Amino acid sequence: MKSSPFIARLGQRDRWTYPAAAALAGALLLTGCSGAPATPAASPATGAPDGPATAAPATAASVPADSATAAAGATPTAQTATKELVAGFPTKLIPLMKGATVQASSLQRSTPLSVASLTETVTAKPADVMAYYTKVYLAQKFTALPGDSVDGTPSKTFVRSSGQENVNVAVVQTGTTATVTVGANVLPASLK
């Protein structure tokens, strides 16, 4: 039975949407599950191109990777942290905005694609957040896909390496604070 062109296009679109949505959901769950009150600290987060941001200390936790990936011969590692960047976080790939505070981060090194995500809060308008990350990803040779929102939430997806790699940026505005989630599915060599 032959698949319709509509189904084929839908499948291509979902190829980018599902990993980005999973990264967004995972980062948001990390933010809501800490249970401990946040206390600001004065330690700068490294690698932000426009200046340092503060983050409270937290403990990064390693979690075992799924057995399907391990059975394929790779030895993936996964880490998550709240209120800080996990060790080895790719700050060139996903830079922290100037003045932003880390809420959650995660990193899974695996093949063929590795996954990194960052949830941050910043006092900025969604349009300013999107302009910042659009500049960041165009400079990294990503291409912006059409569409600027999903169900009214500002969201933008960027791809490169013939569509193999993708990054999604989503912004939720609450008063004057924007909660920004950036999720990336990239080749392991891109984790810098």
pLDDT at residue 36, as a whole number: 38
pLDDT digits (tens, 9 = 90+) for 1-25: 444 443 343 344 444 444 444 444 4
Classify burial at 175, counting beta carbons within 10 Å of its beta carbon; exposed 0-12, middle 13-18, buried 19 or more.
Answer: exposed
In order of 127, 130, 155, the CA distances from 148 in angstroms are 10, 9, 5
pLDDT digits (tens, 9 = 90+) for 131-158: 999 999 999 999 999 999 999 999 999 9
Three-state secondary structure along 3-24?
CCHHHHHHHHHHHHHHHHHHHH
What is the reported pTM? 0.64
